């Protein structure tokens, strides 16, 4: 039987170009962080790694006014410490911290934006969660907030870890998307999903349907047509999924196609998801796997950031469906 390549072998053989040494080191640090996070998530209630810190600590509410789970804080701390190890990171932005985090590294050349625990509302009900990260070049070794405000097209790496039925690490450095599964016997990531590709067509969509009445007309139209199935415009039946963990949804889409939407709506004008550490890295991955990612009106990767925690409407996945939804938005904006 052929042995799966380890992540260390993969990085040594496949990364090329000016960032290869730095990316090899940083991705090794990230893989190390992910292994540690997988352990604390696995321990769950046994280690008391659940619930809210709201009454125990000033850290109990994050910058979005959301109550942090114990694991939000723990995973943030694990990530921050691990990714500085190899000495490349000049500064960090985390979903869980208001301001950019200063690095201990002297001459760091890269910026890391991350969501240490995505889908954290799923922790207490034992449903898959994840970690999302994005790597940018640092304009200088002591970055200010403005240095982080780079469009997604500037990313040199985007990735996620999925703590699901198995723990996986999936990333792109701009040369396709590769997925690694953690072999818990040897504590090693093995290449199990080389060159992942999203099918262009799909009959599966993911959206929080409870927001239907708040959506704009193009999103309502798209979903209405899916629901009409063989009796409507699309002339085929659709299936729906909603895990409420973006990482799990994007992973499903990478494996079998589909689309995921968190659009703007009358309640949340800019949608819910954060540009710098959710939408951008996921869009980079999805485009690298042959899919599309749009706000409805423009490519997510081309949005000019104005804040490190800003939100953005997002629809991503199978290319032909994303093009269709974008065309519905464009028709609407032309009519205006
Ligand atoms: P986080 O736990 O980092 O705040 O992100 C959760 C996000 C995303 O993972 C998921 O797709 C979405 O929130 C779910 O939102 P609803 O609860 O509105 O369905
Ligand atoms: Mn998140
Ligand atoms: Mn989070």
CA 208 to ligand 1: nearest atom: 19
Q: Which of 245, 248, 282 to mutate to test the pocket of ligand 1 (most atoms within 8 A of CB)?
A: 245
Q: What is the pLDDT of residues 80-111, one digit of tens each?
A: 999 999 999 999 999 999 999 999 999 999 99
Residue nearest to atom 6 of ligand 1 (CA): 119
The pLDDT, as a whole number, for residue 61 is 72
Is 68 a residue whose pLDDT tops 90? no
Residue nearest to atom 19 of ligand 1 (CA): 244
Residue nearest to atom 7 of ligand 1 (CA): 119
Over pLDDT 90: what percentage of the chain? 87
Phi, psi of 259 (to 5 degrees): -130, 155
- DSSP calls for 58-91: GGGB-TTSPBPBHHHHHHHHHHHHHTTTTS-EEE
Residues 6+ apart with CB under 8 A from 173: 15, 19, 23, 156, 157
Q: What is the pLDDT of residues 154-199, one digit of tens each?
A: 999 999 999 999 999 999 999 999 999 999 999 999 999 999 999 9
Inter-axis angle of helices 319-335 and 217-228, nearest 10: 130
Scan for tokens 């999203």, then name that residue.
198
Q: What residue ranges line ligand 1, CB within 6 angstroms?
A: 95, 115, 118-121, 208, 244-246, 272
How far does residue 328's CA lie from ligand 3's centre (Å)?
Answer: 31
Residues 6+ apart with CB under 8 A from 60: 52, 53, 54, 67, 68
How many residues does the structure list for the chain? 336
Q: Near ion ligand 2, which residues have CB within 5 Å?
A: 115, 118
Task: Identify the nearest ligand to the CA of 214 by its number.
Answer: 1
Report the CATH architecture of 7-193: 2-Layer Sandwich (3.30)
Is 332 a residue whose pLDDT tops 90? no
SS3 of residue 9 by DSSP: helix
Q: What is the pLDDT of residues 4-56, one digit of tens each?
A: 999 999 999 999 999 999 999 999 999 999 999 999 999 888 888 775 554 44
| Contact status, residue 69 vs residue 120, Cβ threshold 8 Å | yes
User: Domain locations in the chain?
Assistant: 7-193, 204-335
How far does residue 113's CA lie from ligand 3's centre (Å)?
Answer: 12
SS3 of residue 334 by DSSP: helix
**From CA 234, how far away is CA 249, in angstroms rounded?**
23
Mean pLDDT score of the chain: 94
Q: Which residue has the higher pLDDT, 334 or 133?
A: 133
Q: Which residues pair with 180 in a beta bridge?
A: 169, 191
Task: Identify the nearest ligand to the CA of 66 by its number.
Answer: 1
Q: What is the pTM of this model?
A: 0.95
How far does residue 279's CA lie from ligand 2's centre (Å)?
Answer: 9
- Asked if the domains at 7-193 and 204-335 fall in one CATH topology, the answer is no
Residue nearest to atom 12 of ligand 1 (CA): 244
**From CA 132, how far away is CA 283, in angstroms rounded?**
11
Q: What is the helix (H) or strand (E) element at residue 31, kind and residue range?
A: helix 20-43
Pick the CATH number of 204-335 from 3.90.870.30, 3.40.190.80, 3.20.20.70, 3.40.190.150: 3.40.190.80
Longest dimension (CA), the chain: 63
Scan for tokens 């959710």, then name that residue.
278
How far does residue 118's CA lie from ligand 3's centre (Å)?
Answer: 4
**From CA 207, how far away is CA 243, in angstroms rounded?**
9
Please, where are the H alpha helices in 257-300? 280-288
Residue 31 backbone zone (phi > 0: left; psi -120 to 50: alpha; other: beta): alpha
Tell me the CB-side half-sphere exposure of residue 161, using CA atoms within 13 A.
25
How far does residue 162's CA lie from ligand 3's centre (Å)?
Answer: 13
Instruction: Give the residue-averaged pLDDT of 46-68.
Output: 64
Is 336 a residue whose pLDDT tops 70? no
The pLDDT, as a whole number, for residue 9 is 97
Q: What is the helix (H) or strand (E) element at residue 130, kind and residue range?
A: strand 129-137
The pLDDT, as a whole number, for residue 54 is 47
């Amino acid at each position: 039987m052929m042995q799966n390549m380890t992540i260390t072998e993969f990085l040594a053989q496949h990364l090329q170009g000016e960032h290869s040494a730095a990316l090899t080191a940083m991705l090794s640090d990230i893989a190390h962080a992910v292994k540690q996070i997988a352990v604390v998530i696995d321990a769950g209630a046994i280690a008391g790694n659940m619930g809210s810190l709201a009454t125990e600590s000033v850290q109990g509410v994050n910058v979005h006014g959301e109550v942090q789970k114990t694991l939000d804080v723990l995973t943030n701390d694990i990530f921050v410490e691990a990714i500085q190890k190899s000495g490349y990171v000049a500064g960090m932005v985390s979903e869980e911290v208001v301001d950019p985090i200063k690095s201990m590294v002297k001459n760091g050349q890269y910026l890391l934006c991350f969501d240490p625990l995505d889908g954290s509302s799923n922790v207490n009900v034992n449903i898959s969660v994840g970690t999302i990260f994005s790597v940018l070049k640092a304009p200088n070794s002591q970055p200010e907030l403005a240095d982080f405000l780079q469009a997604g097209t500037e990313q040199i790496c985007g990735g996620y870890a999925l703590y699901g039925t198995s723990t996986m690490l999936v990333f792109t450095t701009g040369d396709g998307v590769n997925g690694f599964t953690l072999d818990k016997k040897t504590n090693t990531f093995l290449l199990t999903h080389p060159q992942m590709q999203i099918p262009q067509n799909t009959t599966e969509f993911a959206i929080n349907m409870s927001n239907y009445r708040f959506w704009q007309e193009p999103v309502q139209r798209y979903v209405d047509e899916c629901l009409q199935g063989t009796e409507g415009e699309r002339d085929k039946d659709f299936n729906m999924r909603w895990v409420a963990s973006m990482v799990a949804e994007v992973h499903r889409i990478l494996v079998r196609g589909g689309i995921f939407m968190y659009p703007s709506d009358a309640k949340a004008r800019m949608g819910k998801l954060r540009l710098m550490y959710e939408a951008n890295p996921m869009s980079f991955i999805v485009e690298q796997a042959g899919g599309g990612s749009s706000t409805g009106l423009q490519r997510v990767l081309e949005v000019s950031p104005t804040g490190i925690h800003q939100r953005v409407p997002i629809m991503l996945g199978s290319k032909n469906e994303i093009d269709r939804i974008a065309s519905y938005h464009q028709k609407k904006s032309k009519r205006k």
